[in-house]
Amino acid sequence: MSALANTRFLKMNGLGNEITVLDLRGTATRVSAGEARAIAADPRSHFDQLMVLHDPVTPGTDAYLRIYNTDGSESGACGNGTRCVAWAMLSDPAMSRPAGASLLLQTKAGLLPVERLAEDVFAVDMGPPLFAWQEIPLGIPFPDTRTIAVAPLPGLPELQGPSAVSMGNPHAVFFVADATAYDLSRIGPVLEHDPVFPERANISLAQILAPDHILLHVWERGAGQTRACGSAACATLVAAARKGLTGRTATVTLPGGDLLIAWRDADDHVVMTGPIALEHEGRFSPALFAAVA
């Protein structure tokens, strides 16, 4: 039987970005790719990202997070999910709650300071963006990643020359006249797996509405089209500012709602502010993992 059988979970969302939070602190249990896919397949616990809390590995941090996509692959960062974890750790009576209104969380991409601004609103310091082609990573050297080359899409010659940025995971941002004019379910998988992205990439279609306002639609690697993606919103603001299309602070409007993104001058960090919502809690049925090897 899976060690996850009967384990409690929280089903949450950040602007409609479906998040499941699982607290495995105090145990040696790890989630396998197959178990993550099984959790995603259950409508009660379906997620775009599964946020799994483990005991801290670095002194001074509150928890270590492993982040899973619906296909069982791991991600280095999830801003919407991090806000949900912060709410759970600071608000959920069933969890061991740190004192105060701030946390320091860690993922494989680095440290994520989180601050509570209101009951359901949190600001996450997503760290500095990475621009070097080998850091993103890209499979081909590009001296300037404000514009890179991808394979042409038949019938869509305008979808060329995206900006590439890493915000803990790789992002390709296409600036378009109308972010709603494309079928992301068709073009997203093709662009995600373009050979220039050896670790695949999150694909964003961004429409500049004003110097401080961006409309964004996102295809997430390993998850598909989602109603919101916090790291993509951060990558998009950074890419837009690098091209002189916006300032360093903007509201990013996604299908699920608005995020405020600020790329700080002082330390080069990107801060994302937005809300969360708790949908329900439950426990995993043992039968859920029956087919998992």
Cβ proximity of 239 and 163 under 8 Å: yes
Which residue in this structure is represented by tokens 């019938």? 155
Calpha distance 203→205 (Å, rounded): 7
pLDDT of 98: 78
Cβ proximity of 201 and 189 under 8 Å: no
Please identify every residue annotated as catalytic: 78, 229
Which residue in this structure is represented by tokens 């949900």? 84
Please tell me the class of the 163-268 domain. alpha beta
Calpha distance 71→83 (Å, rounded): 22
Q: pLDDT tens across 118-171, in order? A: 999 999 999 999 999 999 999 999 999 999 999 999 999 999 999 999 999 999
* DSSP 8-state assignment for residue 130: B
CB atoms within 10 A of CB 214: 28
Q: pLDDT tens across 10-28, in order? A: 999 999 999 999 999 999 9
- Among 63, 80, 84, 78, smallest CA distance to 12 is for 84
Using a 10 angstrom Cβ sphere, with 0-12 exposed, 13-18 middle and 19 or more buried, the burial of residue 5 is middle
pTM above 0.85, yes or no: yes
Q: pLDDT tens across 78-125, in order? A: 999 999 999 999 998 888 777 789 999 999 989 999 999 999 999 999
Give the C-alpha distances (Å, rounded to integers) separating 100 from 31, 233, 271.
Answer: 30, 28, 20
CB atoms within 10 A of CB 13: 22
Quote the tokens at residue 243: 């091209």
Quote the tokens at residue 242: 């690098």
In this prediction, residue 293 has a pLDDT band, given cuts at 50, 70 and 90, of low
Mean pLDDT of 51-65: 97
Distance of CA 36 to the CA centre of its chain: 16
SS3 at position 168: coil
Using a 10 angstrom Cβ sphere, with 0-12 exposed, 13-18 middle and 19 or more buried, the burial of residue 234 is buried
Which residue in this structure is represented by tokens 């949450």? 12
Quote the tokens at residue 125: 């310091």
- Among 113, 118, 81, smallest CA distance to 232 is for 81
Give the C-alpha distances (Å, rounded to integers) separating 131 from 143, 169, 237, 262.
Answer: 10, 12, 14, 17
Instruction: Identify the CATH assignment for 8-126+276-289 out of 3.40.50.1980, 3.40.50.1240, 3.10.310.10, 3.40.30.10.
Output: 3.10.310.10
Quote the tokens at residue 96: 């061991």
Segments of the chain assigned to CATH 3.10.310.10: 8-126+276-289, 163-268
